[in-house]
Amino acid sequence: MTGDGARITVNGRTAPITEVPGDERLLDTVRWRLGLKGTKEGCRTGECGACTVLIDGQTALSCLTLTREIEGRAVTTIEGIPDAPFGRAVLDAFAEAGAFQCGYCTPGFVVALAGLLREEGRSAPLRQLLEELGANLCRCTGYAAIARAVELARARGP
């Protein structure tokens, strides 16, 4: 993806991406080229979920996704979550449940939950949502507040 016509759409805005090496990860593109620092780097191996984004509404790990793979597709980062389906409900639920802790893993949890609720709907069993969020790791909490936030967001919907 080195041509002048290469573009990606992030949070509803189309951005030209030039001179991006073919092996550049989406995580680096959104953080360093586009300045969207909400997507966090945790492990760079797909083990922690801190870098979760939505690609065409589906959850994806930006540390395992090459930027060239998403040309012409829509990416939503934590900065765009307030405008995404379920985004505001998830953010409000995390605030109400006190699920932010240090905040490092929170963007990944919020984006992942918004994506899961969009995919599965409010009728998805709570246990299923919690299991699917099990790929996101938090080093600060016992997950109780996060589980409460999941329950609140699921009940509220978009």
- The mean predicted confidence, pLDDT, of the chain is 91
- Its domain, for residue 152, covers 81-156
Same domain? 128 vs 97: yes
Q: Is residue 2 part of a domain?
A: no
Same domain? 11 vs 63: yes
Confidence of residue 1 (pLDDT cuts 50, 70, 90): very low
Same domain? 76 vs 98: no
The answer to whether the beta carbons of residues 42 and 50 sit under 8 Å apart is yes
Distance (Å, whole) CA 48 – CA 137: 5
- CATH number of the CATH domain containing 70: 3.10.20.30
Give the pLDDT score at 4. Answer: 58
- CATH number of the CATH domain containing 97: 1.10.150.120
**pLDDT tens across 21-66, in order?**
989 999 999 999 999 999 999 999 999 999 999 999 999 999 999 9
Q: pTM for the whole thing?
A: 0.92
User: Between the CA atoms of 66, 37, 60 and 147, what dihedral angle is there, to the nearest 10 degrees?
Assistant: 160
Q: What is the mean pLDDT of residues 73-97?
A: 95
